[in-house]
Amino acid sequence: MSGDVVQVVAEITPYVTAAAGAYGIAVLVRAQDEAASATVALGRRLAQRIFGVRADGGELPDALADVVEEPDDPDTTAALRNAIRKALLADEELAADVRALLSRAPAATRTGDGSQIVTGSVIGGDSIQIGSVGGDVHFGPTARD
């Protein structure tokens, strides 16, 4: 079970991190945001299932609060991964629920090593303003064989 949880944690951490970056301290508040991307919305649902729903202004768990403050810091992401892993190892029902949520992840989203993750973006009209990009990303036409 431990190996399986490690894989699940590796897959869901980018979603939770994206949601923390997008929603900030409101990441565990129940209110829905229709404009959220599928990735961010899934990350929020995962975070709420793992850490619980909070009232607006409610305090976040330390690991999640640290990611909200410093979403690009690999140490805060590692601490979040560890907190998620501990929660899933401690509760098999929670782990099963998280796996079920993860199975509904958007098909076009790739997570894990080598994936491209874009955060802090704004799309308006013909342009996209990118806040940060992680992974090996190429902009422009793709090579055709």
- Virtual CA dihedral for 140, 10, 75, 28, nearest 10 degrees? 100
- Decide: 111 and 14 in contact? Cβ < 8 Å: yes
In the chain, % helix, strand, coil (3-state, to 5) comes to: 50, 10, 40
- With 50 as the cut, is the pLDDT of residue 109 above it? no
For the segment 94-113, the average pLDDT, to the nearest whole number, is 73
Q: Band of the pLDDT at 59, cuts 50, 70, 90?
A: confident
- With 70 as the cut, is the pLDDT of residue 135 above it? no
- With 50 as the cut, is the pLDDT of residue 126 above it? yes
Q: So what's the pLDDT on residue 88?
A: 92
Higher pLDDT pick, 82 / 18: 82
Mean pLDDT rounded to a whole number for the chain: 75
Please name the residues in contact with 105: beta carbons below 8 A apart, sequence gap of 6 or more: 11, 15, 42, 111
- Decide: 118 and 136 in contact? Cβ < 8 Å: no
Distance between CA 88 and CA 3 in Å, rounded? 12
- With 60 as the cut, is the pLDDT of residue 143 above it? no
Which of these, 115, 131, 97, lies nearest to 15 by C-alpha position? 115
